[in-house]
Amino acid sequence: MFLKQSALITSILLFFLVSCGESPKKNNSTTQETTAKIDSVPKETIAEEVKSEEEAFILNEENAIDFFFNYAKDLKEDKVKLTTSMGSFTVQLYDNVPYHKANFIYLTRMGYFDNTQFHRIVKNFIIQGGNSDDKETPRKRRAIGRYLLPPDVNKGHKHHRGTISMPSSDRSNPHKLASPYEFFIVVTKPGSYHLDGSYTPFGKVINGMDVVDAISNVEVGDGDWPWKNVYILKAEVL
């Protein structure tokens, strides 16, 4: 009985101090009951709150160019490895296409591409990834922001086989502004040069082209969507 009364008195004093705007100081004699209440706050909740504060910045069409311009300044990495449900391959990104390179690395670091799919496969032409029929994908897009990237087609890069490039947005888009969340890889031999000048090549496959070819040969249905989903399990900057 004495212990219960002591714990009750301690709780009342603690409540009084907090109510007066004072922070209770560390006390090694704090009762187990009080410690249990503090420790009962789920660590996952604290992590989510911290993460939400870090991710409060939202990209939009007004701030995206300035953001990627500054992001690219200190960017030394130029390779991204994509591990898919059919194997892995690595792309090297071009330094002289800074906005598209920075965008791809930023989205990779944000975990956007993880668990997206190769949602459009046109045999002997391209495989296109970065979208999904999972509701988590549009949720990620809302959290990162809504923006487009300007084309950057005059840097001397062509749509050779193995080139990674960025498709245009589905929105009314006479200037071929790029959809930043998706990408396509050319599988045509020796290339698909009719795309030059309309889309922005921003890198090339340097390892695992056999995996890209395997993806390009899966069975597809209406809209060139594979019958069996081909997932990007993880994307990581090297």
Chain CA centroid to CA 106, Å: 7
Look up tokens 């989903």; give the residue: 229
Tens digits of per-residue pLDDT, 93-138?
999 999 999 999 999 999 999 999 999 999 999 999 999 999 999 9
Cα distance between residue 67 and residue 55, in whole Å: 14
Tens digits of per-residue pLDDT, 161-179?
999 999 987 666 667 788 9
* pTM over the 0.85 mark: no
Chain CA centroid to CA 102, Å: 12
Task: Give yes or no for a cis peptide into 190 (omega within 30° of 0).
Answer: yes
pLDDT at residue 33, rounded to an integer: 47
Helix (H, G, I), strand (E, B) or coil at 195: helix
Given a cut of 50, whether residue 65 has pLDDT beyond it is yes
Cα distance between residue 84 and residue 90, in whole Å: 11
Tens digits of per-residue pLDDT, 71-101?
999 999 999 999 999 999 999 999 999 999 9
Provide the residue count of the chain. 238
Mean pLDDT of the 13-23 span: 37
Look up tokens 């999972």; give the residue: 134
pLDDT at residue 60, rounded to an integer: 96
Torsion, Cα of 72, 77, 79, 83 (10° steps):
-100
